[in-house]
Structure 1
Amino acid sequence: MLERLNQAMEHIERHLDQPVDVVELARIAVTSEYHFRRLFSALAGIPLSEYVRRRRLTVAGAEVLAGEESLLDIAVRWGYGSNEAFARAFRAVHGIGPSEARRTRAALRAQPRMSFRLVVEGNTSMRYRIVEKDEFRLVGRKARVPLVHEGMNPAIVAFVRGIDQETVRRMEALSDQEPRGIVNVSDDLAGSRAEGTELDYWHGVVTGADAPEDMASLPVAAGAWAVFDSSGEFPQTLQYLWRDVFTQWFPSNPYQTRPGPEISKVRVSADGRQADAELWIPVQRA
């Protein structure tokens, strides 16, 4: 998998001055466009579009300093229709405009070419199982919240605290299948998974029952789920598990994500410091 991802990275470099063809990149990596975008963001830490933008402006920066071509020629080559558009993008990456950079021979910022390699850290293994589930519903309350990579998410904390205990009890009574009890669900995430991008957060249950009038419902298609579990400090154990699934498990296993919500069940200790976490990711054979 990593070898195919690196072949896709080489393709990006060979066609850096052309529009990004994600369909072709996914074909090279032998995966879906959907999975390629998510896997790249998880491994690289930035969205694919942002990486390509930085790489283009890194090469453009070298051409600006070389002084052999007009700024407009450089701008057009790298996909900008005017000097003004090029200058705005250039300044966003380098902190200085191209004209000033050329005149003063300023120091610029560079985005190195990226490649992926396997680094073995520690001696722990990931516990997982594959579960086939029929169609079901998520029933509960939902809110649109920003994505937070580390630490508590204040928007989610405030949302959950606003759900009264009677509503929670009625939710729990609807739970009739795995994962049982109250679950936390992320859906409709931006492909980049960048910090601050929004997602639908659900606080509810997995069920075959209809939703009460005061609750939302999300139908979920039948399919396979990869189920992971981990224990440790809260909330890091779940956040690190999420990270490790996408950066370690997917690159080394013959599965890819498929569209669908990501479900987590967390049991927090009485003092709020430790947690047992279970993560359900919709998958299909690669």
Structure 2
Amino acid sequence: MVHGTPKPARRLGRAARTIAVRPPSPSALVTYTQRMNRVLDHIDNHIDETLEIAPLAEVAHFSPFHFHRIFTAWMGETLGDYLRRRRLEVAAARLAGQQRQPILHIALSVGFGSGEAFARAFKTHFGQTPSAWRATTAARWTEELQHVRRRSNPDQVLRKADQEANAGKNDNSGVTNNTPQEFKMQVTLSTLPPTRVAYLRHIGPYGPSISAFWQQQFLPWMHANQLEGRPCYGLAHDDPGITAAANCRYDACVEVTADFSPRGQAGIALLPGGRYALADYRGNGPDIERAWTEFLRDWLPNSGLQIDSRPVFEHYPVDAKYDPESGEFNCQLCLPVKPL
């Protein structure tokens, strides 16, 4: 009967509302995390290629029909916006670290079809041209280094405030001491083999939250999977001077054998081998950001080398020390390099 249709329609409406607010199960969150991490890794590994929805959906094992909506809900930005942002952020890092590479080469290496399209997108995103961004690299790294020093040692900065202000009066860049200083960490060059790792991913600001991530999530996960006593690695995918803090990705990794199958939210990745500059570091979590900046700002320009497109990472050997009272630890900073 025609008059009988409203009742089932209301019952279906109530059922639909109940389904919409039902929270996802823990197992569903684990599955989605694994799948989305695979997609993000695939994008980074194929940043120079055309990336379409259907192949990416296949990587995630989602249907193409639903993938775009799921990606947007998970990442907080559309797939197109994410791809554009990642391409530009990778390009910004390469412009800074690969000073002798032509800008067109860098544009093509991140998937832009022309230098003109790249220049327009870059200026829209960063507010300056690619050549201007490259030209201000030294000043930008100096400013970042001073910011880290102010954050980690505010008393010393206050004592030197007058000197810094006077020294900066004639500096049009707004920063002081642009001259690279003597780099004090011991650096060696070594060829490292590719390394298979299992990882858990942290998304958000770098800093104290990374230490908490290791202590509260990664180390318990390692213990549950009987992975103690193996080399570990910390892999920062993003430069916090380029990428918004909320979008920065960090992987805590442990070396695993070829037959290891990850459980939970863990993923599997391959740290690429090749030539690396290795700097020994001892200190606490907040100061490691300063060490990385000094490595890039003070050591790299005088090395006769340039950074290449492989990721930078921290290596924590089996005998790495950690002092829970002071928070001090030791590791190696691993910077992928190639000839100029």
Aligned residue in 2 for 1:257: 307
Superimposed CA distance per residue, residues 217-276 of structure 1 (whole angstroms, 9 cap, x where no aligned partner): 1123331111111223x1233222111111111111122222223221363314134332
Equivalent-residue separation in structure 1 for 2:307 and 2:104 (angstroms): 8
Aligned residue among 164, 174, 179 for 1:119: 179
Aligned residue among 206, 216, 227 for 1:161: 216
Give the drift of 1:211. Answer: 3.7
SS of the residue corresponding to residue 268 of structure 1 reads coil
Give the drift of 1:172. Answer: 3.2
Higher percent of residues as helix: 2
Equivalent-residue separation in structure 1 for 2:247 and 2:199 (angstroms): 19
Query: Aligned runs of 1:152-191 on 2, under 5 Å?
Result: 152-154=207-209, 157-158=212-213, 160-163=215-218, 165=220, 167-168=222-223, 170=225, 172=227, 175=230, 180=231, 182-187=232-237, 189=238
Q: Is the 8 A contact 2:211 2:285 kept in 1?
A: no
Aligned residue in 2 for 1:269: 323
Superimposed CA distance per residue, residues 130-181 of structure 1 (whole angstroms, 9 cap, x where no aligned partner): 12123222212223223x3xxx332662465134636336363583xxxx2x
Aligned residue in 1 for 2:275: 224
Once the two structures are aligned, what percentage of the paired residues are identical?
12
Residues 274 and 261 (structure 1), Cα distance of their counterparts in 2 relative to 1, 3 Å cut: same
Aligned residue among 242, 245, 260 for 2:292: 242
Give the drift of 1:129. Answer: 1.1
Amino acid at match of 1:225: Y
Unaligned ranges ≥5, structure 1: 1-20, 38-46, 57-110
Amino acid at match of 2:248: L
Query: Aligned runs of 1:26-45 on 2, under 5 Å?
Result: 29-31=99-101
Aligned residue in 1 for 2:71: none
Q: Is the 8 A contact 2:183 2:298 kept in 1?
A: no
Residues 154 and 237 (structure 1), Cα distance of their counterparts in 2 relative to 1, 3 Å cut: closer
Equivalent-residue separation in structure 1 for 2:329 and 2:210 (angstroms): 20
Residues 30 and 212 (structure 1), Cα distance of their counterparts in 2 relative to 1, 3 Å cut: same
SS of the residue corresponding to residue 219 of structure 1 reads strand
Amino acid at match of 1:272: S
Query: Aligned runs of 1:1-286 on 2, under 5 Å?
Result: 29-31=99-101, 50=126, 52=128, 112=172, 119=179, 121=181, 125-146=184-205, 148=206, 152-154=207-209, 157-158=212-213, 160-163=215-218, 165=220, 167-168=222-223, 170=225, 172=227, 175=230, 180=231, 182-187=232-237, 189=238, 193-194=242-243, 196=245, 198-214=247-263, 215-232=266-283, 234-264=284-314, 265=316, 267-286=321-340
Q: CA RMSD in A?
A: 4.3
Superimposed CA distance per residue, residues 38-69 of structure 1 (whole angstroms, 9 cap, x where no aligned partner): xxxxxxxxx9864627xx9xxxxxxxxxxxxx
Equivalent-residue separation in structure 2 for 1:238 and 1:34 (angstroms): 33
Equivalent-residue separation in structure 1 for 2:102 and 2:240 (angstroms): 13
Aligned residue in 2 for 1:10: none
Higher percent of residues as strand: 1
Normalised by the length of structure 1, the TM-score is 0.51
Equivalent-residue separation in structure 2 for 1:141 and 1:160 (angstroms): 12
Residues 160 and 275 (structure 1), Cα distance of their counterparts in 2 relative to 1, 3 Å cut: closer
Unaligned ranges ≥5, structure 2: 1-90, 108-121, 133-170
SS of the residue corresponding to residue 172 of structure 1 reads coil
Q: How many residues align?
A: 187
Which has the bigger relative contact order, CA under 8 A and spacing at least 6? 1
Bigger mean CA deviation after superposition, 268-277 or 160-169: 160-169
